[in-house]
Chain A
Amino acid sequence: GAVVSQHPSRVICKSGTSVKIECRSLDFQATTMFWYRQFPKQSLMLMATSNEGSKATYEQGVEKDKFLINHASLTLSTLTVTSAHPEDSSFYICSALGQGKNYGYTFGSGTRLTVV
């Protein structure tokens, strides 16, 4: 139990286009979803926290108009990188908060975004 499906696993997009990343909790309801960004060999940096049915809370320094987060249902949260640029190339990973194993935190498998 407690699986989060994250898609796509890899995506390459052209500069200026938008990319949507989905995280779906398959067997539990995720009231809260955390979105992280990770550069190679670095830590996971929290970008935002989203709660179902309400606006996301962004960490300081994260552009909310660039990284759009939608948490419209208890099983689906999406992160859209708008007008992507090469500096947005990174590893993005979600973590869903729900009951059960791992003391409530279930991570998706991550999305490697490359902007060319």
Chain B
Amino acid sequence: AQKITQTQPGMFVQEKEAVTLDCTYDTSDQSYGLFWYKQPSSGEMIFLIYQGSYDEQNATEGRYSLNFQKARKSANLVISASQLGDSAMYFCAMREGGNQGGKLIFGQGTELSVKP
């Protein structure tokens, strides 16, 4: 069965520094999708970045980049130049089924705190 693991329950980072949030996954599918979401205290899920299993280049979206290492089955999120507003829960997720529209399964989450 597919599984997503986030081993960092909490992380601290100084404002303006970069931080890496870890995510490893396990799947037997050849085609899959990996997502990162931000969840502030309000509870909404904010999409950050997506990486397809066949994408050769690491995804980037503004200050967010995804360090995709397929052989190691890891999809770490890198946030550059952290801001106070980045303090939130961060979830890694994988689309199951290897096709468009499969259900998303989520990791345990990492609570990021940005210090001024």
Contacts and interface: CB of A to CB of B under 8 A. Distances in A.
A42 B45 contact: no
A103 B103 CA distance: 12
For the complex, would chain A's binding face be called helix, strand, loop or mixed by DSSP majority? strand
A101 B35 CA distance: 13
Interface string B79-116: 00000000001010001000011011111110100000
Contacts of A93: 43, 45
Contact of B106 (A41, A44, A103): A44
Interface string A81-98: 000000000010101010
B43 A49 contact: no
Contacts, number: 49
Interface residues of A, number: 22
Contacts of B95: 103
Given A42-B109, A43-B109, A44-B91, A105 B104 contact: yes
Given A41-B111, A42-B109, A44-B91, A102 B47 contact: yes
Nearest to A110: B43
A110 B104 contact: no
Contacts of B91: 43-44
B101 A97 contact: yes
Nearest to B37: A107
A35 to B, nearest CB: 11
B108 A42 contact: yes
Contacts of B35: 103, 105
Given A44-B91, A103-B50, A95 B43 contact: no
B103 A46 contact: yes
Which of A41, A45, A49, A103 is the most central at the interface, judged by chain B CB atoms within 10 Å of its CB?
Answer: A103
Interface of A: 32, 34, 41-46, 49, 91, 93, 95, 97, 101-105, 107, 109-110, 112
13 contacts: A42-B108, A44-B91, A45-B106, A46-B104, A95-B104, A97-B101, A101-B47, A103-B47, A103-B50, A107-B45, A109-B44, A110-B43, A110-B44
